[in-house]
Amino acid sequence: MDENKTVNISLSKALLDAIDKQAQTEFRNRSDLIREAVRTYITSKGGMDDNYKLSTAEKNRIKGAQSFANLKEEPAILLSCVTRPQPNSNEDIFTSGSKTIKLMEDPPRLRRMGWDLQTLNQARLIEGEYLEVTNGERKLLKVYRDGQHVFAAGMDFFGHGVNKDEVERVNLNLLAVAELITNFVIFSRQISDELQKESTAFIFTLTIVNPLDKPVNLMAGRYGTDKIGELGLAWAERDIVIVNPGAVSDMRMAYQIYAELNYFFGVRTDHFWYADSKKQEMNKEDFVKQS
């Protein structure tokens, strides 16, 4: 992530009022909205570095994860990380006893019995292109030869008190997704260490799929009893680019992804759970306290 710099700009009162009104509508602060507006404008003009855009193949791998289990029929969360520069490769990915296989079969986690990447299964080689581990039909983890890795899981994993017969709404456990995002980032760092070329950027993709087209409620609190936001979109997706990841802590990278998740649900920065919004980092201790 580039170092943040403060700049002074002059805006008319009418334009500033419009910015504040739109920021309030989207539950963002003024700076968040202006940064997103500038990024969107530059992208629309073709000014974004193509190096920070996903290739068609990388996008298809993310979409392809939706074919796991019954994720085309229920709300799900997909996480992906690709590295730059490309082409790149993990030469030992398919070697018996390789670091990558060990990471997939015993991925890092913040606590026992938490929301993590653990599947308790052996990694399988698929079509000479990637390794895959699954935990029944609850979660899927893939790692490709070029370093991209994709995680997918549905409401059986992320939900809180989900009733299969209840079709009016789905409750998403914020603790589950916050902890999973943090574990995924830690895993991404370790996977990137196995690549031939040092990573100059990570591009994380956060996708929420809602084929039921029913409201998805974001629930927080120790027992997930507090509704803090709602998402009604069928497909919500955001790319988070982390430049020079070696200079960014895992907890800050996880926060960047976690923040976008909250924005999907209309949750402002000052209302975040499980994170320190001032430091812009995840609160790792908050997960441990849940044990």
Task: Give the integer Cα–Cα distance in Å for 227 and 217.
Answer: 7
Cα separation of 183 and 150, whole Å?
A: 13
Q: Is 193 helix (H, G, I), strand (E, B) or coil?
A: coil
CA angle 113, 284, 209 (to 5 degrees): 70
User: Is 183 found in the same domain as 61?
Assistant: yes
DSSP state of 270: G
End-to-end CA distance of the chain: 32
Residues 22 and 89 in one domain: no
pTM: 0.84
> Same domain, yes or no, for 55 and 182?
yes
Clarify whether residues 130 and 77 are in a common domain: yes
Q: Which residues contact 219 (CB under 8 A, 6 or more apart)?
A: 160, 171, 172, 173, 174, 225, 226, 227, 228
Whether residue 1 lies inside any domain: the answer is: no
| Neighbouring residues of 234: CB distance < 8 A, sequence distance ≥ 6 | 209, 210, 211, 213
* Cβ–Cβ under 8 Å, residues 174 and 99: no
The domain of 260 spans 50-289
Q: What is the pLDDT along the chain (291 residues), one digit of tens a residue?
A: 445 677 788 888 888 888 888 877 666 678 777 877 776 676 555 555 678 899 999 999 999 999 998 888 889 999 999 999 999 999 999 999 999 999 999 999 999 889 999 999 999 999 999 999 999 889 999 999 999 999 999 988 998 654 444 556 788 999 999 999 999 999 999 999 999 999 999 999 999 999 887 889 999 976 678 899 999 889 999 999 999 999 999 999 999 999 999 999 999 898 999 999 889 999 988 888 886
One domain, residues 117 and 55: yes
Same domain, 105 and 219: yes
Same domain, 238 and 284: yes
Residues 32 and 65 placed together within one structural domain of the fold: no
Number of domains in the chain: 2
User: How far are the Cα atoms of 15, 172, 243, 250, 266 from residue 77, in angstroms, in the given order?
Assistant: 36, 10, 24, 20, 17
Q: Which residue has the tokens 């409401």?
A: 155
Sorted by sequence, the CB contacts under 8 Å of residue 213 that are 6+ apart come out as 232, 234
